[in-house]
A and B are shown apart, each in its own frame.
Chain A
Amino acid sequence: EAGVVQSPRYKIIEKKQPVAFWCNPISGHNTLYWYRQNLGQGPELLIRYENEEAVDDSQLPKDRFSAERLKGVDSTLKIQPAELGDSAVYLCASSLNSEQFFGPGTRLTVL
């Protein structure tokens, strides 16, 4: 069974540029999460979806971050414009019940 797929794996951009991350969760998992993980820290939740509905986006910086999960399957996370402090690993996870399965993450570097 394929795990959570994320792309790209690495992204380097200049500040003020837009960037987008894509996630394909495990088939049948109705819950999808986006996390941000800073170096040496644990993941921090940005947004959680139940099917296509965002049920918890309280930690998402809405002035520059946006996310969508059309049709309740794949999801994209966008940053526009990116800032230097956005450099981090962006992890996607999915779950059917309580156990979350994480993707490999996208490492974003903002110059």
Chain B
Amino acid sequence: GESVGLHLPTLSVQEGDNSIINCAYSNSASDYFIWYKQESGKGPQFIIDIRSNMDKRQGQRVTVLLNKTVKHLSLQIAATQPGDSAVYFCAENQSGNQFYFGTGTSLTVIP
């Protein structure tokens, strides 16, 4: 069946460096993707989204890249800060409002 997965379960980066979190999806019919950040004891928080008619979208310090050819999604965080430490999930949208979440990548920022 369809699945959304992440390549790396954990990622450690130095403060100030750029972070790249990757995600693979298997349903080529998915047309909407969201990256979420989840801090300990909190619910997921929307970071940035992208639709399948785009291959790049930028926000404040974050960029999402979508490669539909290989069904790959990435989240780039510029100048990573300690407050960026969290678990990051990608989610794909299938059949309207149904979202499927990946396992998550735990990002640790080293001061």
Q: Interface on A for B, CB 8 Å cutoff?
A: 4, 31, 40-45, 48, 56, 91, 93, 95, 98-105
Contact = CB atoms under 8 A, between A and B. Distances in A.
Interface in B57-102: 89, 91, 93, 97-102
Contacts of B93: 98
Contact of B103 (A41, A95, A98, A101): A41
Contact of A4 (B43, B98, B99): B43
Given A48-B97, A101-B46, A42 B41 contact: no
Interface on chain B toward A: helix, strand, loop, or mixed SS?
A: strand
* Contact-residue bracket for chain B: 20 to 34
Residue of A42, A56, A104 with most chain B CB atoms under a 10 A cut-off = A42
Given A56-B97, A105-B43, 9 more contacts: A42-B4, A42-B91, A44-B101, A98-B93, A98-B97, A99-B34, A99-B49, A100-B46, A104-B41
Contacts of B98: 45, 48, 56
Closest 4 CB pairs of A and B: A42-B101, A102-B43, A42-B89, A102-B44
Contact of A102 (B32, B45, B97, B100): B45
A45 B98 CA distance: 8
B103 A99 contact: no
A105 to B, nearest CB: 5
Nearest to A102: B43
Contacts of B46: 99-101
A43 B97 CA distance: 14
